């Protein structure tokens, strides 16, 4: 059977005209949605309720993904509708989001991926500053890395959750691809590679093999490393393609991370006085931090309520209390929402067993 003939110029013109007509229809529908969003915003302002409801947006996107019949890929639905909802939300109120900067970091990509691009971006020089800006109200939300699939937890984020008032209301994760960036498109002549310590660790094997004598210089963020590399031709950086574009750098070697499936999980944080706990979405996670008395069987005892009430634990991390007494805090992720009776019962019993007990947040699970 002969291959189908390519469309003629006339056919292409006709198809493009039909696409243009659909685009006009879409624009009209989007503006109708925006008008409704403005009306919702007016109702919310009268009621004093918040503009951003992560569980509501998660439900909307999940329902649309289930309704999708193609040929649009289902994985394309979420980013498209996040942008639509972000643009409509911006009509209600500007959303100020703090994250680890400067421009071009994976934290910025996570912030835009979660909230959409219609936000007020607030890059911060450190994770500590993200927490400070969000606690003080300069930002409505903060985005902080909490866990990497290769290197484990981000210790500083966990420590700040323990001592500060912020709570988690959402999460997102990114596939992290580290690229070696430089002003010159070559490997020779490099004196140092600048990157966040986690990125340097995640590329250890490649750097040891290809650049064994080159200094590995830790900096506050990968984008900061890219900025420094843009100023000095002898420096390289490990950063995203977005950072390469932002700072005018060559991608000397792409995707050099040791784990091809490398991902980083980010928490979306806010002050509980400014944003209520998300309602149950049906696919939720509850994060908490606890400590127990230093006695035999104490850690086993805190796991018993979870087993009795059938609550799944998806993460269990220990961090030293820094008291000098060899005591630890335990960071725990549970599957479910406190509005569900088994989860509520397990949390009540767990609270009675702990010397310290703090719920860090309940939020919709990231689908990635």
Residue with tokens 């999708």: 68
> Where are the strands (E) in the chain, listed by range?
96-100, 120-124, 141-148, 152-153, 167-175, 179-182, 192-195, 215-218, 235-239, 250-253, 263-270, 284-291, 313-320, 328-335, 356-364
Residue 7 is classified by DSSP as P
Query: Strand pairing partners for 200?
Result: none
Cite the active site residues. Answer: 264, 266
Secondary structure (3-state) at 221: coil
Identify the burial level of 327 via C-beta atoms within 10 angstroms of its C-beta, where 0-12 means exposed, 13-18 middle and 19 or more buried: middle
Q: Are strands 284-291 and 215-218 parallel, antiparallel or unpaired?
A: unpaired
CA angle in degrees (0–180, nearest 5) for 210-254-239: 95
Residue with tokens 């086993």: 300
């Amino acid at each position: 059977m002969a291959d189908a003939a390519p469309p003629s110029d006339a056919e292409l013109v006709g198809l493009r005209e039909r696409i243009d007509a659909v685009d006009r229809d879409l624009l009209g529908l989007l503006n109708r949605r925006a008008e409704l969003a403005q009306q919702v915003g007016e109702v919310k302002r009268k009621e004093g309720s918040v503009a951003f409801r992560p569980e509501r947006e998660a439900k909307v996107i999940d329902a649309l993904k289930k309704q999708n019949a193609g040929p649009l890929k289902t994985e394309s639905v979420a980013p498209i509708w996040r942008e639509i909802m972000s643009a409509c939300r911006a009509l209600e109120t500007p959303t100020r989001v703090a994250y680890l900067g400067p421009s071009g970091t994976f934290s910025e990509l996570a912030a835009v991926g979660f909230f959409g691009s219609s936000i007020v971006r607030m890059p911060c020089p450190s994770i500590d500053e993200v927490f400070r800006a969000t606690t003080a109200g300069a930002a409505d939300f903060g985005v902080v890395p909490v866990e990497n699939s290769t290197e484990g937890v981000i210790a500083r984020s966990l420590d700040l959750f323990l001592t500060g008032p912020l709570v988690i209301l959402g999460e997102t994760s990114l596939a992290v691809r580290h690229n070696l960036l430089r002003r010159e498109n070559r490997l020779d002549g490099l004196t140092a590679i600048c990157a966040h310590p986690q990125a340097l660790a995640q590329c250890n094997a490649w750097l040891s093999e290809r650049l064994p004598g080159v200094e590995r210089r830790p900096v506050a963020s990968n984008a900061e490393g890219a900025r420094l590399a843009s100023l000095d031709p002898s420096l390289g950086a490990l950063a995203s393609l977005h950072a390469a574009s932002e700072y005018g750098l060559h991608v000397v070697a792409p995707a050099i991370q040791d784990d091809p499936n490398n991902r980083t999980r980010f928490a979306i944080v806010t002050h509980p006085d400014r944003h209520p706990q998300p309602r149950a979405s049906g696919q939720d996670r509850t994060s908490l931090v606890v400590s127990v008395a230093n006695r035999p069987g104490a850690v086993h005892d805190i796991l018993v309520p979870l087993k009795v009430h059938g609550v799944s634990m998806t993460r269990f991390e220990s961090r030293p209390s820094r008291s000098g007494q060899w005591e630890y805090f335990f960071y725990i992720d549970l599957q479910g929402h406190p509005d569900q009776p088994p989860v509520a019962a397990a949390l009540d019993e767990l609270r009675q067993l702990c010397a310290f007990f703090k719920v860090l947040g309940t939020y919709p699970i990231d689908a990635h």
